[in-house]
A and B are shown apart, each in its own frame.
Chain A
């Protein structure tokens, strides 16, 4: 039973990955595809090995921007959600602004932000990541704080619970799963936006910059090697938030609802 599960969860996906890589390699070699169309996995692997230190440095730079952006975005989102949940007027006043933030492609603001904060600083990239991660966390957390089932509300009223007690006992635990589903989205978009923001200017470090410069010097396998670096960062962010979510929700006996 256990072995079968292990097979399904670990061995099978790895096997599929290996088969896919083999097929990719065979296609590139068999059809004699040019590297600018798609390079072979072995060519990308070679570049990865040769430039490991550079790729790691570029990934680290992008990851750092994404991390600080995510942290700031989440902190502001939690604060804003708490205020909006407590004071209805604030929520109503800010709703159009939040909607605007949600629909404007924030990375499009990157050039403007580079002018604002200086093209030599990482600030613009962090700001972009922060704004982008703000939205899902704010929207989800606020929804979570609002979602108190009528029966729980009645119950707390019958028990003459204070507002503080109701918040601690019912509202916050109920909102946590909502917060985490927002955080999961935010973690992915923070990485994407921090990377894409690099395309529009700023300092020369980071994965986005590295990918564009590798492509402009026609080193396509190297560009793909940087993309592999981006995939790794994305995975690290995703897994970290998932682990945090599991840890907190499991410890607090919280069921995942949304």
Chain B
């Protein structure tokens, strides 16, 4: 997985692929890194003293790699994602996205994002929602339309292009949000519990769909989740975090084949259960049989 730095199907101009600025020595040695996190901390000042959301976190996400962040509530996994997305700044340490500081990556439109809430604009049609990032960044009307049609086809919502978001179910809205995140063919996709609000059946369906989309786009994904099976099913590696302070406890390699090879049948596979157990034990310590991790779905 690591050796294949996939070339993005993007037709964008400008530097897209991992080669960072020439003055960055890091970029040449680990050319494929989508995200580099080095000793990152984030403290929040509050009246009752500082809250340490993240403490000295190191993490590397290679280009094209799917990495899940899992852990109990308050372990800082969403905070870490927000730092990568430049929606927040670290109080210590350093982050780079494709060798660039997060705010530069953001200005370059290097990544797409999806949240737990679909966050569609209710006054726009489904199509206009998917077109939004392209519109903001000056893509022409015809190209926008073509790309939206293509993406809505990919997420199986071609017939709903002219519907309004509130006419769609939660799962469909979330698929629109994913289509929107993929609109500019980003080389990195950031997802903050995107399926957290969906029922189990819809959830499994969109998970499989996400694997397919990701196999086609070759994008790296950082995926925050509460669900162990979800993390295992989707990821190349699962980053298990612990709370107070938020730290990386263990990184579990999944190695269940490439995204394109994974199908629903994998959910019943012994290897799959084996990885689920490994992640659970990492979450709860080796005697993980006792006690259920707070805020972690056992589903």
Please indicate the chain A residues that have their CB under 8 angstroms from the CB of B111 in the complex: 158
Q: Given A160-B109, A173-B121, A255-B123, does the pair A151, B136 have CB atoms closer than 8 Å?
A: no
Secondary structure at the A interface, as helix, strand, loop or mixed, is: helix
List 13 A–B pairs whose Cβ atoms lie within 8 Å, in order of A's numbering: A152-B121, A154-B85, A154-B87, A155-B113, A155-B115, A155-B119, A158-B85, A158-B111, A159-B132, A160-B106, A161-B136, A253-B123, A253-B124
Q: Given A155-B113, A160-B107, does the pair A255, B122 have CB atoms closer than 8 Å?
A: yes
Please indicate the chain B residues that have their CB under 8 angstroms from the CB of A252 in the complex: 123
Is B106 a contact partner of A254 (Cβ separation < 8 A)? Answer: no
Q: Given A151-B119, A253-B164, does the pair A159, B133 have CB atoms closer than 8 Å?
A: yes
B111, B113, B135, B136 interface centre (most CB from chain A within 10 Å):
B136
Q: Which of B115-169 contact A (CB under 8 A)?
A: 115, 117, 119, 121-125, 132-133, 135-137, 164, 166
Number of interface residues of A (CB under 8 A): 19
Please indicate the chain B residues that have their CB under 8 angstroms from the CB of A151 in the complex: 115, 117, 119
Per-residue 0/1 for B82-123: is the Cβ within 8 Å of any A Cβ (1 yes, 0 no)?
000111000000000000000000110101010101010111
Number of interface residues of B (CB under 8 A): 23
Per-residue 0/1 for A150-182: is the Cβ within 8 Å of any B Cβ (1 yes, 0 no)?
011011011111000100011001100000000
Q: Given A253-B125, A255-B122, does the pair A159, B136 have CB atoms closer than 8 Å?
A: yes
Is A159 a contact partner of B164 (Cβ separation < 8 A)? Answer: no
- Asked if A149 is at the interface (CB within 8 A of a chain B CB), the reply is yes
Please indicate the chain B residues that have their CB under 8 angstroms from the CB of A158 in the complex: 85-87, 106, 111, 113
Please indicate the chain A residues that have their CB under 8 angstroms from the CB of B113 in the complex: 154-155, 158
B115, B123, B132, B166 interface centre (most CB from chain A within 10 Å):
B123
Question: 13 new A-B pairs (CB below 8 Å) besides A159-B133, A161-B136?
Answer: A149-B119, A151-B117, A152-B121, A157-B106, A158-B86, A159-B137, A160-B107, A169-B135, A173-B123, A174-B123, A254-B122, A254-B123, A255-B122
Measured CB to CB, the nearest residue on chain B to A160 is B107
Please indicate the chain B residues that have their CB under 8 angstroms from the CB of A174 in the complex: 123
Q: Which of A159, A160, A161, A170 lies in contact with B121, CB distance below 8 A? A: A170
Measured CB to CB, the nearest residue on chain B to A157 is B87
Q: Nearest chain B CB to A165's CB is how many angstroms away?
A: 6
Secondary structure at the B interface, as helix, strand, loop or mixed, is: loop
Q: Given A159-B133, A160-B106, A253-B164, does the pair A154, B123 have CB atoms closer than 8 Å?
A: no
Measured CB to CB, the nearest residue on chain A to B133 is A159
Please indicate the chain A residues that have their CB under 8 angstroms from the CB of B164 in the complex: 253, 255
Please indicate the chain A residues that have their CB under 8 angstroms from the CB of B137 in the complex: 159
Q: Nearest chain A CB to B241's CB is how many angstroms away?
A: 21
- Cα distance A123–B136 when bound, in Å? 46
Measured CB to CB, the nearest residue on chain B to A174 is B123
- Cα distance A254–B125 when bound, in Å? 10
Measured CB to CB, the nearest residue on chain A to B166 is A255
Please indicate the chain B residues that have their CB under 8 angstroms from the CB of A159 in the complex: 109, 132-133, 136-137
Please indicate the chain B residues that have their CB under 8 angstroms from the CB of A154 in the complex: 85, 87, 113, 115, 119
Q: Nearest chain A CB to B113's CB is how many angstroms away?
A: 5
Q: Nearest chain A CB to B197's CB is how many angstroms away?
A: 12
Per-residue 0/1 for A83-102: is the Cβ within 8 Å of any B Cβ (1 yes, 0 no)?
00000000000000000000
Q: Which of A202-258 contact B (CB under 8 A)?
A: 252-255
